[in-house]
Amino acid sequence: TFTDPDADAAAIAAMSRDELTETGPDLLRESRKHEARAVLAAAALADRVYRERLAGQSEVEVWGSVIEHADNLARAEVSLQFKVSRSKAGSWIALADLLKEFPLIRAAYLNGELSTNRASIMARAAQRGGDIDADTDSDSDSTDGDEAGMSFEEIVLDYGSRGTTDPVLSQQLDAALISMNPDSVIEDRDTITDLVGHVTITPDVAGHSSLDAVVPAHYGVFLTTQINALVDERTCRKDPRRVGSLRVIALGEITGVPGAHLDCECGQENCAKGGAARDESAETPADADDAAAWDDLLPEPADADAPAVELVEPVVEPEIPDPMDEPTCDEVPVAFGRALVVPGAPVLTVLKDPDGILVPRLQGYGPIDPDYAATLSEVAKTIHYPESARAAGPLIPQISDRPQAPPADPTGHGG
């Protein structure tokens, strides 16, 4: 009914499995339709507020700070009226503006076929590959005649219609873009490095700081593998703390923060990963007893009965300060941490195709351009794609009427 929440909840609870299978996807599609229109409405409201702010001002008066203030005012109004955060309001406005350039993706979004996040992934990919001529790049590797004349937006839409998760879709679109126009990807990477790459640490509440960074992909992979390896090495499953808390301590120890040390707090004496287990010496009590017994069997030194030599302390001459040296304050030593590298963590690994057909991949990240892969060859382990992947060939976009995947049955098959 969409008017009586209790009645709707009771009706859904009373539905059979077949009714739920039929009704659930329809409800999801309708909710996506409503959200898509809410996004467009938010962008339209922001545009009205922006224009009202700049109305009546001459071109001379409209400059950087004025435009920035108008943008902030528009986002604030959307945030207030739609009861969402300012960051979400900004992402909605940006998505709606971007969808104006890609009517096919916008139509699918308004039709309820795409979630907001999926539509955003597809729109950004279409923007990056907007200059690609699919006619020239979809060459003899494809045998589907329907692919001729495809725009990159159509390729993106085809990928988005497949039953993949959003992270997988993002990687597929990256791989398609790299295979079709690697130079543009290299240019984008250099631009991000020069203009966007940054590390910001800002004060947060209750004695915490917020850390945000845009770094090269292998930096992120390295930190991720190091943190995961340290958490796995130092803690067991019975540690009561959240995984997030463990990762924060691990990051501190890896980067050498003073006092940051990860140890298991499960409270069990026989914990295989606790500090006691790591700090145990190789010498056992039995080894100590054996060593003492051997010491008793050793002969006494030849001069054991000789009188003890009286130790004379040397005379320490007083230090006379050099009058030419300027007096300095006493330095207080500060205990700094030491950066840690976990030996057991996986090394950086790049998958490459010796024939140059498949797009290189950085394990733990995804597809990367060939130039980046060549740069990483100096610091990463390079392995070749398995023969099965090379025999399958590149991931070529195909236009086809694929039926929807069958639902999973109770035995765990299908889907």
Length of the chain, in residues: 415
Residue 25 within a domain: yes
Residue among 92, 109, 88 nearest 44 (CA): 92
pLDDT at site 297: 54
The residue written with tokens 């236009």 in the block is 399
Same domain, yes or no, for 237 and 374? no
- Our count of domains for the chain comes to 3
Same domain, yes or no, for 365 and 238? no
Measured from the Cβ of residue 252, the count of other Cβ atoms closer than 10 Å reads 17
Measured from the Cβ of residue 68, the count of other Cβ atoms closer than 10 Å reads 10
Angle, vertex CA 230, rays to CA 225 and CA 236, nearest 5 = 120
pLDDT at site 166: 94
Same domain, yes or no, for 240 and 381? no
User: Which residues of the chain are under the pLDDT cut of 70?
Assistant: 58-62, 64, 131, 133-149, 275-340, 390-415
Residue 361 within a domain: yes
Same domain, yes or no, for 38 and 159? yes
Residue pLDDT, tens place only, 42-58: 999 999 999 998 887 76
pLDDT at site 332: 47
Query: Of 279, 294, 312, which closes a domain?
Result: 279
The CA distance from 13 to 205, in Å, is: 42
Same domain, yes or no, for 145 and 243? no
Residues of the domain holding 368: 349-392
Residue 256 within a domain: yes
Residue among 47, 52, 41, 42 nearest 88 (CA): 42
Measured distance between the N- and C-terminal CA atoms of the chain, rounded to whole angstroms: 31
pLDDT at site 299: 54
Q: Give the pairing of strands 349-352 and 361-362.
A: antiparallel
pLDDT at site 53: 85
Residue 158 within a domain: yes
Output DSSP code: residue 274. Answer: S
